[in-house]
C-alpha cells in the first residue's frame, strides 16, 4: 500500500518545517539584542563596583552612552540615572530595543538598576 492510499500527507511535514524556520528567524533577531542588553547590565555592575567612584555624573553618562553605542543599544542620556548618597551609589538605565520581525515589531523593555557601596 502506498502513502497516498493510507491517507498520509506531506502537509504536516511542511507545516513543521515552516514553524521551525519561523522559530529560527525569531531567535536570530531576538537573541543578539538580548545578549547585548545583558552585556550592558554586566558593564553597569562592574562599573558601579570599580570605576564610578572616580567619575562625576557627566563622565558616568558619557561612559554609559559609549558602551551602549558600541553594543548598538538605543540608550538616551536622559534615561541614565546616577544617585549618590554618602558612600553608596545607584545607577539606572532604561531603554527599549525594537526588534523587526518583518510582520510585527517586538519591543524588548529593559530597566536596569545597580547599587554599590564604597568602603
Residue the block writes with cell 558601579 = 48
- For the chain, the straight-line distance linking the first and the last C-alpha, in angstroms and rounded, comes to 81
**pLDDT on residue 64:** 96
Q: How many CB atoms lie within 10 A of CB 105?
A: 9
Cell of 82: 546616577
Would the pLDDT of 3 be above 70?
A: no
Q: Give the CB-side neighbour count of residue 65, counting CA atoms within 13 A.
A: 12
**pLDDT on residue 2:** 54
Q: What pLDDT band is residue 75 in, cutting at 50, 70 and 90?
A: very high
**pLDDT on residue 4:** 52
- CB-based contacts of 115: which residues, under 8 Å, 6+ apart? 48, 88, 89, 90, 91
For residue range 8-55, list pLDDT tens digits in order. Answer: 678 888 999 999 999 999 999 999 999 999 999 999 999 998 888 889
Amino acid at each position: 500500500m502506498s502513502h497516498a492510499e493510507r491517507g498520509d500527507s506531506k502537509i504536516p511535514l511542511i507545516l513543521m518545517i515552516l514553524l521551525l524556520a519561523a522559530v529560527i528567524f525569531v531567535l536570530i533577531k531576538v537573541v543578539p539584542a538580548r545578549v547585548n542588553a545583558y552585556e550592558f547590565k554586566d558593564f553597569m555592575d562592574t562599573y558601579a563596583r570599580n570605576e564610578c567612584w572616580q567619575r562625576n555624573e557627566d563622565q558616568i553618562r558619557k561612559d554609559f552612552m559609549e558602551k551602549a553605542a558600541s553594543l548598538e543599544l538605543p540608550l538616551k542620556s536622559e534615561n541614565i540615572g546616577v544617585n549618590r548618597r554618602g558612600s553608596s551609589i545607584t545607577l539606572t538605565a532604561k531603554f527599549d530595543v525594537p526588534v523587526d520581525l518583518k510582520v510585527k515589531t517586538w519591543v524588548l523593555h529593559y530597566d536596569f538598576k545597580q547599587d554599590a557601596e564604597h568602603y
